[in-house]
Amino acid sequence: MSIKEEILEILNTQKFYYKGIPMNAFFLPVFNNNKKQTVRNQFNNLYKDGYIDKINEHYIINKNGKEYLHKNKKRYLKNFNPTENNGPKNLLLLYDIPEDKKSERDWFRRTLIKFGFIMIQRSVWVGPSPLPKEFLDYVKLIGLKDSTKTFKLENDYKLHK
């Protein structure tokens, strides 16, 4: 996540503030490994670009900043760390994710592998069901729901060697 998005994300959540700078519970600035001047410059840039407002020495995110965050949230794909699921492979999953969403498609494939899915044909996978609700909600959030279809198999898929 860039420092620009990090600042906007921090301003979008409830935190402690001192002179407009977000602080943690120990009243230390929340920025990761960035020089003070870099953070200061980025605040000024965000203000000049119209993403934040300054009121009484405090910075607050405005409508433009929230829209920017929402639009760019899709760029940072969530990492799921599921537990090993060696259950029966009884869910058939087909997808057709467009080329302009290549990074989302690659993320989707890697995540299916983590969930114990195997590819049986290009864009056709089989694995254990059900898929976690959090994963399905996230797939919808990043705009992939209409590009995927799932079918519950009557019998478990057996890999033929």
The CATH code that applies to domain 89-152 is 3.30.70
Long-range contacts, stretch 103-111, CB < 8 angstroms, 24+ apart: 103/77, 104/74, 104/77, 104/142, 104/143, 104/144, 107/77, 108/139, 108/144, 108/148, 111/80, 111/135
In 10 A of CB 66, how many CB atoms? 14
- The residues of the chain that CATH labels 1.10.10 are 3-75
34's torsion region: left (phi>0), alpha (psi -120 to 50) or beta?
beta
**Distance separating alpha carbons of residues 131 and 112, to the nearest angstrom:** 9
pLDDT in tens, the chain (161 residues): 678 877 777 666 655 666 666 665 556 666 666 677 887 888 889 999 999 998 887 788 899 988 887 776 655 567 776 655 667 888 999 999 988 888 888 889 988 988 888 899 889 999 998 888 888 988 898 889 999 999 999 888 876 65
- The residues of the chain that CATH labels 3.30.70 are 89-152
* pLDDT on residue 73: 60
Q: Does domain 3-75 have CATH number 1.10.10?
A: yes
Cα–Cα nearest to 124, from 142, 148, 102:
148
